[in-house]
Structure 1
Amino acid sequence: MTDAVTNPLLSPPALPYDLPPYGSIRAEHYLPAFREAFAAHRAEVEQITSQTDAPTFENTLMALERSGALLDRIARTFYTVSSADGTAEIQAVEEELAPLMAAHSDAIQLDATLFARISALHAQLDELGLDAESRHLVERHHREMSLAGAGLDDEQKKRLTDLNQRLSVLTTTFEKNLLADTNDLAVVFDDAAELDGLSEGELSAAAQAATARGLDGRYVVTLTLYTGHPYLASLANRESRRRLLEASRARGARGNEHDNREVLREIVRLRAERAALLGYPSHAAAILADQTAGSPQTVHDLLRRLAVPAATNARSEQAALQRIADADGIRIEAHDWAFYTEKVRAAEYDLDRAALRPWFEAERVLRDGVFFAAEQLYGVTITERHDLQGYHPDVRVFEVHNADGSELGLFLLDLYTRDSKRGGAWMNSIVTQSALRGTAPVVVNNLNVNKPAPGTPTLLTLDEVTTLFHEFGHALHGLFATVTYPHFAGTAVHRDFVEFPSQVNEMWILWPEILTNYARHIDTDEPLPADVVERLHASEAFNQGFATSEYLAASWIDQAWHGLSVDEATADIDVAEFEATALADIGLDNPAVPTRYASTYFAHVFSGGYSAGYYSYIWSEVLDADTVEWFRDNGGLTRDNGDRFRQRLLGVGGSADPLAAYRDFRGRDAEIQPLLERRGLTG
């Protein structure tokens, strides 16, 4: 029996900020709760569509925004767990749920009567006397339902629903395969000598990972989501580097039960067919029609503009690496790049990034860096709530208050990697703020930092420090967005705008008063030496040819797959050959600079929400670099600047056109020159 007594997901929220009662939720609770929530949502929508009164904003749009609250709560609870603690039981639920969720979404989005009511309101929009957010709500619902296919005939809608359900299964399968193959391909080392160059903490984490797999006395290095691995920069043993990169690049393409090649080919075919059904020449065209970029051609123009100088810079960097590698009698290959990059960095800037880890103890970075910057800029206070429980023992819960002491929301942090967590780093909202529903935000950041043995401090790399600041930028966006309607809550903005606030938050990492507050040696409490900081600043554009090239390569592969027409997508495509042709087309086919993600483990676009949208990081970085320049020109880390950024950008959520919000904040459109200078692409 499933009811509010036996199923905690169906009980009214009882914890602060409606935090789900994770301690009492079991895997078997989810599907019955979803089925009840689906039914409740359909009944709420039917009340809107069955009425005989003429459509008004209140009886149609307001009612639609109030509907689905139970489903939204359960879905956010579940998908938080499925991505961060995807046990076999949870994965089984997700596989069964995927087509049900797709079918339910289509039932709402393709409802002809609902679309007719919204279209009627859209046609008389100027006569409704709505405030700006309400007007934008009508526009967005009308556009989204149009793009979803609400205007198709019944036969077309049936095919569209079939496509969406099949795609939901395929994307879930892709992620499941990737997680399994990533775990299977974790590299086992028999001797610590093979890991020469790793720190004591990194060795401890590798030993801990081995013990967790029943391999006492050995060492296991788990893989990151992207192609490279942080350890490639410090592993002195070339064969160990080769094994690590080879394992990473093999994921999803080994001809075993976790092979993703046919899965992704079918995803591409069905996405192309769906786009054609909706009247678009490609999936990319369909997706970009509702992004700030507007069209694939605009994205292609930007990527090609950046690719030429990036590839040129990468070749120059490679030549510098080769000069040092010549002394070792080797020819630079992909698995050597990071290792020799650190040698060049040391020679040119007298800088050893691996040696910085003792200054980046995780707890201090979090409290005295990430939190401190937010406190200084926005006046918020962040305190840990030991009485509240997350979905896993590693999850920590923090309460956030505004400068005036009023409650803002909860922030959850899930720092460490585990076999049940998907790769990468991300933020998601467990509860979103909405004045209409009377809810406050609850957001979570997930990272994949290796967990050392008990009693050993967690020392971060500079890249991991950057990731922590970046993801907290997303968290701030989710916490600060203040809207009326759930549709606009948190980070519900255009995909190619969503990375902008998080990238801006990275600027505080080396900001003097922030850095001196958190970057202190774990043993001596000495701050990071000033000359080291100077060399970090001097080396900011170092290796940007490689970094930009590997990113642009992945973005181009995404565009290439999703730019295919139906006829092109139904051809017999060899995945490796397709990638090679695409990279040659844009001049990013340097074997020593592999793409950040190859197709078979490109989770962002084949199981996440970035299909035809991976370009959005660099697109958003144009805004980010321009904003960093504004902060520097206007006094930097001040409450006035923080309040302006919060009120005019972060606080808007999705309730206004994002580029209009940017113009309101900046006083003009963004300029690309700061980005070109940051990445050393001005030559």
Structure 2
Amino acid sequence: MCANSTSHPLLDRPTLEHGLPRFADIDDGVVREAFPEALRRHREQIRAIADNPAEPTWENTVEALEASGRELGRCTAWLFNMLGTDSTDARQGIAEEIIPELSAHSDALYTDAALHARIKAVTAPEGDGEGARLHAHLLRRFTRRGADLPPDAQRELAEINRRLSVLSDAFGNNLLADTRTHALHVTDVNELDGLSPARISAARSAAEAEGRDGYLIPLELPTVQSALTDLTDPGTRAALHAASQRRGAEKNPAVLVEMVKLRARRAALLGYDTHADYVIEEETARTADAARRMLTDLAPAAAANAAAEHKLLVELADTEVTGADWPYWEAKLKARDYDLDEDELRRHFPLGRVLRDGVFFAANRLYGITVTERPDLEAYHPDADVWEVRDTDGTALGLLITDYFARPGKRGGAWMTSFTEQSRLLGTTPVVANVMSIVRPTDGSEPLLTLDEVTTVFHEFGHGLHGLLSDVRYPTFSGTNVPRDWVEFPSQINENWAFDPEVIRNYARHVDTGEVIPDHLLTAVADARQFGQGFAAGEYLGAAVIDLAWHSLTPEQADQLGDGAEDIEAFENRALEDAGLTVEHLRPRYRSTYFNHVFAGGYSAGYYSYLWAEVLDADGFDGFAEQGAAGEAASPEAVRAAGQRFRDLILSRGGADDFGTAFAAFRGRGKDVAPLLSRRGLAGAV
């Protein structure tokens, strides 16, 4: 802690605007020192609630519980965010120490009989619909965390949770290590033919940073690596594709199989047939059968479309097209059939313009908010910037941190996270972060984004809007604290604005000339986006099917699993075959050994949620169009009115309203799958 600081940056209430952490004052020593005290304080707060001699009331029980643990929340927010963006051996060591303690602390809270009894004894104030929903939510949570189990079962449950927390951390650490170890190393620049000079320069810098000669291509989270689109050398493509799929193969099979067994046993302890049944009961899908049916209904059509696409690529290439070659020849086909030059397209997508004149411009049109950079406020890394978000009337809503560049110690992929969440009860405003891993040009030039990267910037800001525009009383329901198959709905809705005519013409300007993207490129983008949907749907469905297959096992079935790499591959192949997703050379978006979402994240039995949310997104965005708020004919007034409705009914409410009711209120009816089938080229599949 800084010598001139009189308060602790984690244990005391933040003093910076919106509760922004004093990042300059926090280091590994500070957080290691803070955790035991934060845990002690939260235990004291819980005991004060549970042992309160006064009659239970809403205020002294539920609201007191909601207000407890702020210090612990600040410690965990800092540590787990840093583990994602700037992991080090020291921070991993802190996590290994603290994660079992956090698991035990959480189990103790939810099996506290006195606290549970007080919560059951109170009711929400008359007319407080959000409070009534919170009360029901808390009662379910206590039951689902073992409050009604006998003591011996509670002890077993606590040990399972402790072990799962350790295994999840180990899985992520193994993956991070392998992501660095298996980065593709080449010594001959000719092997990188097809990559832009900026990307080749970045590969040289990456090798230098690791103390190696030649060039290093870091691995991204999914199976398919973005460089496969451009690399002309089939050997380099094959090596990169193989390196991607080797991650986790040595250490993670045993880890993930043990996790599957423990999750199955935990579900059984709590009265569920499988982990999938346990998880999805709290999602908007409600049942594992509903999620499974959606995947298996769509899989055959996606597989057929992918096979047809592959046939076209083989005809174009006039040779075998493997999984490593698929993205390269797909780009060639799009260039031929749709006049889409992806390199030329990128030159219209400099990151700064995409962000300011695209993402922020669209948010202003829809919701009336403005986003202004705050260089006077310091983020957790020099690469990250802080922005303030203000409402139409100038009211400060919260802060956004943007952290877009890849660096050693940062895990691949993209995500949104929170340091502080909005709550009227606590008087807090949100501090959220959008994180990506874009390769920074070594010559200091503006990064030029691919279409996928443009979409991801909009997607993650959609999550950011969910946090920033939250307007609820209770922190449990704030922002993105919602089911997995609902949390992706606002983010996927926001992707649509990336290609709205008014928005894209505002930000897509040539990096050298400043000229607006020509109509022929816009047409090519629109046409080309329809091709490749079979591959995109197939690789996604493959991952979702594998996730549900692991987590639909009973304890008895899980106990029969082998934990070698060949056992994992055999299990995956059976699951894909059963779902009708066996397309030659089509690989799942994630294989089990590097499936971070479900074995080191919060998406176990929930990866289906992206597609479930896309049903809501496709149908919901049709609603914007029907209100005259999207497309060439959209008027500013219609855009603003529709945006305000979406903000009021969806974004601001977090988890405070029933999700089906909220969607129906926005759309005027329940969800319809037809718009998604049309978008994905799967009409007639269901």
Shared fold per TM-score greater than 0.5: yes
Rounded Cα–Cα distance in structure 1 between residues aligned with 2:435 and 2:2: 31
Query: How many residue pairs get matched?
Result: 671
Displacement of 1:145 in angstroms is: 1.2
Displacement of 1:539 in angstroms is: 2.2
Aligned equivalent of 2:568, options 563, 568, 575: 575
SS in 2 for 1:619: helix
Displacement of 1:2 in angstroms is: 13
Displacement of 1:344 in angstroms is: 1.4
- Check conservation: 2:198, 2:443, Cα contact below 8 A: no
Displacement of 1:49 in angstroms is: 1.1
2:672 partner letter: E
Alignment of 1:511-522 (within 5 A): 511-522=500-511
Rounded Cα–Cα distance in structure 2 between residues aligned with 1:501 and 1:27: 35
Rounded Cα–Cα distance in structure 1 between residues aligned with 2:259 and 2:85: 24
Q: Does 1:252 align with 2:248?
A: yes
Displacement of 1:71 in angstroms is: 1.2
Displacement of 1:526 in angstroms is: 1.2
1:208 corresponds to which residue?
A: 205
1:243 corresponds to which residue?
A: 239
SS in 2 for 1:393: coil
Deviations 1:333-369 (A, max 9, x none): 1101011111211222121223311111111111111
Percent identity, aligned pairs only, is 46
2:257 corresponds to which residue?
A: 265
> Which deviates more from structure 2 when the two are superposed, residues 556-565 or residues 202-211?
202-211
Q: Does 1:170 align with 2:173?
A: no
1:194 corresponds to which residue?
A: 191
Aligned equivalent of 2:153, options 147, 151, 156: 156
Aligned equivalent of 2:136, options 132, 136, 139: 139
Structure 2: give runs of 5+ residues left out of the alignment: 631-638
Rounded Cα–Cα distance in structure 1 between residues aligned with 2:407 and 2:426: 35
Rounded Cα–Cα distance in structure 1 between residues aligned with 2:357 and 2:197: 24
Rounded Cα–Cα distance in structure 2 between residues aligned with 1:591 and 1:55: 62
Displacement of 1:130 in angstroms is: 4.2
SS in 2 for 1:424: coil
Rounded Cα–Cα distance in structure 1 between residues aligned with 2:237 and 2:315: 20
Aligned equivalent of 1:623, options 597, 606, 616: 616
Deviations 1:358-413 (A, max 9, x none): 11111111111111111111111111111111111101100111010011100000
1:234 partner letter: D
Alignment of 1:545-584 (within 5 A): 545-573=534-562, 574-584=567-577
Rounded Cα–Cα distance in structure 2 between residues aligned with 1:64 and 1:12: 17
Displacement of 1:53 in angstroms is: 3.3
2:29 partner letter: E
Rounded Cα–Cα distance in structure 1 between residues aligned with 2:238 and 2:192: 12
Q: Could you list the structure 1 runs, at least 4 aligned residues long, displaced by more than 6 angstroms after superposition.
A: 1-4
- Check conservation: 2:84, 2:410, Cα contact below 8 A: yes
- Check conservation: 1:31, 1:93, Cα contact below 8 A: yes
Aligned equivalent of 1:376, options 347, 360, 365: 365
> Which deviates more from structure 2 when the two are superposed, residues 637-646 or residues 313-322?
637-646
Alignment of 1:96-115 (within 5 A): 96-115=97-116
1:407 corresponds to which residue?
A: 396
1:183 corresponds to which residue?
A: 180
2:375 corresponds to which residue?
A: 386
Displacement of 1:7 in angstroms is: 4.6
Rounded Cα–Cα distance in structure 1 between residues aligned with 2:119 and 2:657: 19
2:581 corresponds to which residue?
A: 588
2:226 corresponds to which residue?
A: 230
SS in 2 for 1:484: coil
- Check conservation: 1:201, 1:457, Cα contact below 8 A: no
Alignment of 1:330-341 (within 5 A): 330-341=319-330
Alignment of 1:241-390 (within 5 A): 241-253=237-249, 255=250, 259-326=251-318, 330-390=319-379
Rounded Cα–Cα distance in structure 1 between residues aligned with 2:211 and 2:433: 31
Aligned equivalent of 1:603, options 596, 600, 605: 596
Deviations 1:480-516 (A, max 9, x none): 0111111111110111100000000011111111111
- Check conservation: 1:493, 1:658, Cα contact below 8 A: no
> Which deviates more from structure 2 when the two are superposed, residues 537-546 or residues 306-315?
537-546
SS in 2 for 1:498: helix
What is the alpha-carbon root mean square deviation over aligned residues?
Answer: 1.5
Rounded Cα–Cα distance in structure 2 between residues aligned with 1:391 and 1:425: 17
Rounded Cα–Cα distance in structure 1 between residues aligned with 2:96 and 2:204: 33
2:444 corresponds to which residue?
A: 455
Displacement of 1:12 in angstroms is: 3.1
Displacement of 1:321 in angstroms is: 0.7
Rounded Cα–Cα distance in structure 2 between residues aligned with 1:465 and 1:634: 26
2:85 corresponds to which residue?
A: 84
Rounded Cα–Cα distance in structure 2 between residues aligned with 1:613 and 1:371: 30
Displacement of 1:77 in angstroms is: 2.1
- Check conservation: 2:345, 2:521, Cα contact below 8 A: no
> Which deviates more from structure 2 when the two are superposed, residues 375-384 or residues 199-208?
199-208
2:633 corresponds to which residue?
A: none
SS in 1 for 2:35: helix
1:491 corresponds to which residue?
A: 480
- Check conservation: 1:634, 1:641, Cα contact below 8 A: yes
2:642 partner letter: N
1:268 partner letter: V
Displacement of 1:670 in angstroms is: 1.0
> Which deviates more from structure 2 when the two are superposed, residues 272-281 or residues 567-576?
567-576
1:478 corresponds to which residue?
A: 467
Rounded Cα–Cα distance in structure 2 between residues aligned with 1:290 and 1:650: 20
- Check conservation: 1:385, 1:398, Cα contact below 8 A: yes
Rounded Cα–Cα distance in structure 1 between residues aligned with 2:89 and 2:402: 23
Displacement of 1:633 in angstroms is: 1.2
1:300 partner letter: R
Deviations 1:45-95 (A, max 9, x none): 111111233322122111111111111122212221111111111111111
Rounded Cα–Cα distance in structure 2 between residues aligned with 1:364 and 1:94: 38
Rounded Cα–Cα distance in structure 1 between residues aligned with 2:299 and 2:550: 18
- Check conservation: 2:300, 2:580, Cα contact below 8 A: yes
- Check conservation: 1:234, 1:354, Cα contact below 8 A: no
Rounded Cα–Cα distance in structure 1 between residues aligned with 2:672 and 2:16: 45
> Which deviates more from structure 2 when the two are superposed, residues 597-606 or residues 88-97?
88-97
Rounded Cα–Cα distance in structure 1 between residues aligned with 2:204 and 2:515: 30
Rounded Cα–Cα distance in structure 2 between residues aligned with 1:11 and 1:120: 32
Rounded Cα–Cα distance in structure 1 between residues aligned with 2:61 and 2:167: 34
Displacement of 1:294 in angstroms is: 1.0
TM-score (norm 1): 0.96
Alpha-carbon spacing, 1:88–1:548, altered in 2? closer, same or farther (3 Å): same
SS in 2 for 1:382: strand
Rounded Cα–Cα distance in structure 2 between residues aligned with 1:320 and 1:55: 69
Rounded Cα–Cα distance in structure 1 between residues aligned with 2:289 and 2:219: 35
> Which deviates more from structure 2 when the two are superposed, residues 582-591 or residues 315-324?
582-591
- Check conservation: 1:133, 1:655, Cα contact below 8 A: yes
Rounded Cα–Cα distance in structure 1 between residues aligned with 2:337 and 2:492: 27
SS in 2 for 1:383: strand
Structure 1: give runs of 5+ residues left out of the alignment: none
- Check conservation: 1:102, 1:164, Cα contact below 8 A: yes
- Check conservation: 1:175, 1:603, Cα contact below 8 A: yes
Displacement of 1:6 in angstroms is: 8.0
Deviations 1:223-254 (A, max 9, x none): 0100001111111000000000000000011x
SS in 2 for 1:335: coil
Alpha-carbon spacing, 1:167–1:154, altered in 2? closer, same or farther (3 Å): same
Rounded Cα–Cα distance in structure 2 between residues aligned with 1:419 and 1:278: 41
